[in-house]
Amino acid sequence: MLYCPPHPHCPSLPPYPNSTIISSSLNHPNQDRLLLRRHNSKSTVLLLRHLSPSQDPSPEPPPQYRHHDHSIPEQQEDDQSQLLQLSLATKRTPQFPGSIYVQSPSDPDVHTSLPPLRTLLQGEAGGEEEDDHKVIARALEIRRKVTAEIFKEAMRKGKFGLTYITNLTNRLAAFIDYVMVEAAAMKRLPEFSGSTFNFRAKTVIQDSNVVPLIRWLKHNSVSYPKIGKLISMSRGKIESIRRVVEWLKSIHVKGEFLGVTLTKAGENLLELSNDELDEIVDYLESNGVRRVWMGYVVSRCPQLLSYSMEELRSRVQLFLDMGMNDNDFGTMVFDYPRVLGYYTLEEMTEKVRYLKEFGLCTEEVGKLLAFKPYLMGCSIEERWKPLVKYLYYHGISRDGMKRMLMVKPIIFCVDLEATIVPKVQFFQDIGVRGDAIGNMLVKFPALLTYSLHKKIRPVVIFLMTKAGVNERDIGKVIALAPELLGCSIVKKLEGNVKYFLSLGIHTRQLGEMIADFPMLLRYNVDVLRPKYRYLRRIMVRPLQDLIEFPRFFSYSLDGRIIPRHKILVEKQINLKLRYMLASTDEEFEKKVEAIVENRRRFEAGLIYDDLSASQATDDPAENVNTSVVVRQESNYETQSI
């Protein structure tokens, strides 16, 4: 015992009977003799006041160092003490010069700062004896913590950061248990029979080469959560991770996807040989998936590597039976790799069966999935059935839904409440009739894929403010030409409006023209300009004719306008643009022949003979009507209809 002499200003107090005052200098390994140390007045007063029996007639040591009086059977005490002694680390708690430790005299080694072993075997409630399995569980937990500290020490020697070591160790519970079990099993080997647990655990970690593997995986852009999961999945077969990673890199799986591919491919991936993995890749390549695509496909759908060859063949055959060739199948897998390996075979079969209920045959379903494989990722109950009910409510038949599915299949993948319902409500608010919404959606299904606030609403505002469409006609314009909502305001609509205004058409007149023919704004200005020039210079028609019949721009200049104008010039006939163009060739020929015949009869005087014959009748009303008809026929060939 090292005695501390009393300070002259402090009363002499008897030493604490159950405690030992130890200077940190005694714990130094190079200390070969005792050094008496005189404390200053403050530290001595505080220490003696703490240990003074006058403060408490029955002083007790601090709770953490208190010696429990609860007795333990001798044999059980020896076994439990030996079990925990093997589990405890021997590393001392860091000390500083001059520190003082007060310990129980029952400790076998006063040079350690660890609490007494007996306190670890007592229960927290009343000091009752714990069951054997609780004691063993506590001992295993202590040993697990010791193993984790040994692993952290090995990581620190590998030049890893403290934060990285801590985060990774927290995700390696399975590997820590593996090291603990292997280290305990090494006790049976003759060469390790006399070694400590710490030495055996260090040997297991070193032989597994786990630290260099972690460094290599980190260099290949694998995050520490993925590294922790991989090492836990390996079940001690650490080298299998390096082998599979090298194989994945050989098929062009990029570094940032290596960890995702390894962790999501299933636990049996590390158990597959390179030949088995090559067989999967070769089979996909033989069915149209190009070799250069394989890394992309595998990294986006790692589950492909977890299937047996029989399961993989069944999945591929499901699509080949729908009439897909190698090119269709390969591009489908490249566009959406999850279509082949993410969903169960029963789910895919059920979705194919549901698509056929729209009236599609097997080959049409195959073409649809080859064009838009994302449909296979949609839920029947959550996506398709609610959408079908909503479309049916707006008067869209099964044929209309079939057209929407074939033209824009992505509609069946969007959220109904968040995407489709607000747009339909907006169309109703601007005046589109309820019975016209269904026809509008069937005519232009892509409308439902546009943004309401960034695309649809700005176009409507532009039509009402810049193009002159009034509020009464805007619903009619959108219902007749929903394609306008897909046009760019800057690149298409604004340029067309400026062109028509430059012709001398007022904004109000342009709005009426658009209400009469909404597709007017969709034509290219380069197509409109030659037609307008021919109308004004060759046909010598006024601008009012164009305002009254804006559909003039919808007809082909070389295919209809010029040929019919030449016929009218040859026959010396003048017709309004509406009657000149808005008819078939047969109807136009009959109309021209009728006008020519009436003119011939008028010039031959036959019309007057018919008039004289009609005047011989007794009915004056008939004569009046006949004369009116004659005047109409005579005026028909001279005036512009």
Report DSSP letters for 160-203, one per residue.
Answer: --HHHHHHHHHT-HHHHHHHHHHHHHGGGSGGGTTS-HHHHHHH
CB 248 within 8 A of CB 298: yes
Tell which phi-psi region holds residue 432, choosing left (phi > 0), alpha (psi between -120 and 50) or beta: beta
Instruction: Say if residue 592's pLDDT is above 70.
Output: yes
Which amino acid is present at 545? D
Confidence of residue 41 (pLDDT cuts 50, 70, 90): low
Same domain, 271 and 369: yes
The mean pLDDT of 225-246, rounded to a whole number, is 78
Position 458 pLDDT exceeds 90: yes
Judge whether residue 7 has pLDDT over 50: no
Domain end residue (candidates: 314, 345, 377): 377
Whether 184 maps to a domain, the answer reads yes
What are the tens digits of pLDDT across the range 345-374? 888 888 888 888 888 888 888 888 888 888
Decide if pLDDT at 137 tops 50.
Answer: yes
Does residue 201 or residue 530 have the better pLDDT? 530
How many Cβ atoms from other residues are within 10 Å of residue 544's Cβ?
9
Q: How far is CA 564 from CA 324, 579, 584, in A?
A: 49, 11, 11
**Percent over 70 (pLDDT), the chain:** 73
For residue 463, being part of any structural domain is answered with no
- Above 80 in pLDDT, residue 67? no
Establish if 384 belongs to a structural domain: no
Its domain, for residue 591, covers 543-601
> Rounded mean pLDDT of 584-605?
86
State which of 332, 355, 377 marks the end of a domain.
377
Kindly state whether residue 144 falls inside one of the protein's structural domains: yes
The pLDDT score that the predictor gives to residue 76 is 54
Domain count for the chain: 3
At 29, the pLDDT band (50, 70, 90 cuts) reads very low
Over range 399-411, report the average pLDDT: 88
Q: Give the per-residue pLDDT at 607.
A: 55
For residues 223 and 279, membership in a common domain is answered with no
Task: Specify the pTM.
Answer: 0.61
Domain annotation covers residue 97: no
599 with 573: CB under 8 angstroms?
no
Percent of the chain with pLDDT over 90: 12
Do 271 and 372 reside in the same domain of the chain?
yes
Taking residues 48-65, what's their average pLDDT? 51
Asked whether residue 179 is assigned to any structural domain, the reply reads yes
Residues 211 and 160 in one domain: yes
pLDDT for residue 431 is more than 80: yes
Task: Select the more confidently predicted residue: 286 or 9.
Answer: 286
Is 289 domain-assigned? Answer: yes
Six token digits for residue 113: 């700062």
Q: Which CATH number belongs to the domain containing residue 310 in this structure?
A: 1.25.70.10
Q: Are residues 272 and 370 in the same domain?
A: yes
| pLDDT, the chain, mean | 76
635 within some domain: no
Mean pLDDT of 552-579: 89
Question: Which of 377, 406, 436 corresponds to the end of one domain?
Answer: 377
